[in-house]
Amino acid sequence: MKLGERRLFGLFGDPVGHSLSPYLQNEAFRLLGINGVYLSFAVKPEELGAAVAAVRCLKMGGVNITIPHKERIVPYLDRLAGDALLTGSVNTVVPEDGQLVGYSTDGEGFLLSLRHQGEMEPAGKKAVLLGVGGAARAVAFRLVQEGVAALYLVGRNPEKTAGLQAALRERTGFAAVGLSFADPDLAAVAAEADLVINATPLGMYPVTGDHPPLPAHGLPPRLSRSRSGLPSAGNGLLARSAAARLAYPGGVGDAGLPGDSGLPLVDRADPAF
């Protein structure tokens, strides 16, 4: 393959300096013999339209979308497909027949991680989802599709929480319960849950000591963390779980950075492209 034929792929978000996606994707390209290069691009909300136009102009092979653009990017695309049609959240943009098509692999990636590393099926479980952003939307819809018994949505913005509740109800008929981080019932609800999912940016590498404001005594035996950022062994929420003498399985949420679990780098990547 000629160097001039190499295709450009990328990640759009703000911030992106911490992201391991270029390492993951470029290693995958090398292993699969794909003549491409994957770079991260810091794109502010007011620059998103121009960034999407650049995807068209530069004939890029595709881009991944991360915080804070997973919902904002939808109006700039030609159409949605797959899970993105249901969730209204996009983490992957692919050029197809002259159009830019938005997909979401967050829900699928989360479910694969939950099954592979957490050894858990969500069907019949009681889940608490921390966060109501783009990644949380994808995870919420996937949990409902997989038959979760109860779902509590915990957000800082009451309007966004109510919006996700309404979307779930209108598109699936499922009635999720909305809570705030200040809700006095949150600790009790989380303590009785089978699964707590951190879909907030808090705890993402490199600031792994941060965590959502969930009381330590409100942590159940099993924890999970969504694909909104690669987890770290230093994740504050998980550290507080250990301090509270609550057991959690090795794998989902406490796997650490690539290299510490014996898994190849590409095993941690979403099925994005």
**Active-site residue set:** 70
Strand 99-103 relative to strand 92-96, pairing? antiparallel
Q: In sequence order, what are the beta bridge partners of 89?
A: none
C-beta of residue 142 within 8 angstroms of C-beta of residue 89: no
To 5 degrees, how large is the angle CA 131–CA 137–CA 138? 125
First to last CA, the chain: 20
Q: Is 66 exposed, middle or buried (0-12, 13-18, 19+ CB in 10 A)?
A: buried
Residue (of 220, 256, 214, 255) closest to 237 by Cα position: 214
Q: What is the DSSP letter of 119?
A: -
Residues 141/88, Cβ–Cβ less than 8 Å: no
Whether 47 and 19 have beta carbons less than 8 Å apart is answered as: no
DSSP 8-state symbol, 61: S
Residue 216 neighbours by CB distance under 10 Å = 16
